[in-house]
């Protein structure tokens, strides 16, 4: 059972453009919605996260949009930079500590 | 420096030769977990531990064992490795999310251990 569907698998964006990655989930018990960022040779690290009682959260150039009724949330990277090139994972979790990872999106920002 | 340390970082072994991947964290976290990362599959949980002497299976536990005798250490044991266990392994730790406490459950990951089983 695939609880989390992430799209696209890969994304190429020009420097200064907007990167958008989407995540759809099925489990209504998820109560926290983070995005993790992974650089080559490193472990994933928390980038930004949102609780289900808000529809949007912005931290610098990174924004999460959350649609509870559609069971979707997305990551927007404004003014994308080459340093943003990484793999991004949505990883919602239920009450407790288990994150359920999406398959990942490889982002490449061309300079 | 707060960190999760895994060893070895790279290992090539042969089918059936027992191996252990060590994991240690210095953040006094109760929760620890092992994941494997495979292309197109994201990260899948192998085992997790809520505290010392408390471990439980994740989504893909077959062929793996763990132990949690000390709070800081959570080794992953492959008793008889097989080629389908060739993967990139991550150990992670966090504070537990508890009722009434709005902890985020943010996971802190090690840098990974790339295992090849021939």
Chain B hits for A95, Cβ within 8 Å = 97, 99
Whether the predicted pLDDT of A55 surpasses 50: yes
How far apart (Å, rounded) are the C-alpha atoms in residues A59 and B97? 23
Q: What local confidence, expressed as pLDDT, does residue B100 receive? A: 46
Q: Digits of tens for pLDDT over chain B (118 positions)?
A: 889 999 999 999 999 999 999 999 999 999 999 999 998 899 999 999 989 999 999 999 999 999 999 999 999 999 999 999 999 999 999 987 764 455 677 899 999 999 999 9
B42/A97 CB distance under 8 A: no
Q: What local confidence, expressed as pLDDT, does residue B2 receive? A: 84
Tokens of B60: 């893909």
Helix (H, G, I), strand (E, B), or coil: what is residue B84? helix
Residue found by looking up tokens 């902890």 in the block: B103
Rg of chain A in Å (alpha carbons): 13
Provide the edge-to-edge strand list for the sheet that holds B4-7: B4-7, B19-25, B76-78, B65-66
A98/B45 CB distance under 8 A: yes
Report yes or no: B116 and B11 within 8 Å, Cβ to Cβ.
Answer: yes
Report yes or no: B69 and B79 within 8 Å, Cβ to Cβ.
Answer: no
Tell me the mean pLDDT in the region A5-29: 96
Nearest by CB to B109, which of A43, A98, A104?
A43
How far apart (Å, rounded) are the C-alpha atoms in residues B16 and B114? 17
Which residues, at least 6 apart from B9, have a Cβ–Cβ distance to it below 8 Å? Answer: B111, B112, B113, B114
How far apart (Å, rounded) are the C-alpha atoms in residues A34 and B94? 14
Question: By the CB < 8 Å criterion, does A49 face chain B?
Answer: yes
Q: What local confidence, expressed as pLDDT, does residue A85 receive? A: 98
Chain B hits for A98, Cβ within 8 Å = 33, 45, 48, 58
Nearest by CB to A96, which of B44, B97, B112?
B97
Which residues, at least 6 apart from B111, have a Cβ–Cβ distance to it below 8 Å? Answer: A41, A42, A43, B6, B9
- Least confident piece of the model among A51-55, A76-80, B62-66, B90-94: A51-55
- Least confident piece of the model among A26-35, A102-111, B86-95: A26-35
- Tell me the C-alpha to C-alpha distance, in Å, between residue B48 and each of A41, A93, A98, B5: 23, 14, 9, 16
Question: By the CB < 8 Å criterion, does B23 face chain A?
Answer: no
Q: What local confidence, expressed as pLDDT, does residue A29 receive? A: 87
Q: What local confidence, expressed as pLDDT, does residue A2 receive? A: 64
Chain A hits for B58, Cβ within 8 Å = 98
| Helix, strand, coil shares, percent, chain A, to 5 | 5, 55, 40
């Amino acid at each position: 059972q695939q609880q989390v569907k992430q799209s696209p698998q890969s994304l190429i964006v020009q420097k200064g453009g907007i990167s958008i990655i989407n995540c759809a989930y099925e489990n209504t018990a998820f109560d926290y919605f983070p995005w993790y960022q992974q650089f080559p040779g490193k472990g994933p690290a928390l980038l930004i996260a949102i609780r289900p009682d808000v529809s949007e959260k912005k931290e610098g150039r990174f924004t999460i949009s959350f649609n509870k009724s559609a069971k979707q949330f997305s990551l927007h990277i404004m003014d994308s930079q080459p340093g943003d090139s990484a793999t991004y994972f949505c990883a919602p979790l239920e009450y407790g500590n288990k994150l359920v990872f999406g398959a990942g999106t490889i982002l490449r920002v061309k300079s | 420096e707060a960190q999760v340390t895994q060893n070895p970082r790279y290992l090539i072994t042969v089918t059936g030769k027992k191996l252990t991947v060590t994991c240690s964290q210095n953040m006094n976290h109760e929760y620890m977990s092992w994941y494997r990362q495979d292309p197109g599959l994201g990260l899948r949980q192998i085992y997790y531990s809520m505290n010392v002497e408390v471990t439980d299976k994740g989504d893909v536990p077959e062929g793996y064992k763990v132990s949690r005798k000390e709070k800081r250490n959570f080794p992953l044991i492959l008793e008889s490795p097989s080629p389908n266990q060739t993967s990139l392994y991550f150990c992670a730790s966090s504070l537990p999310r508890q009722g009434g406490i709005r902890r985020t459950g943010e996971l802190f990951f090690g840098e990974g251990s790339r295992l090849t089983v021939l």
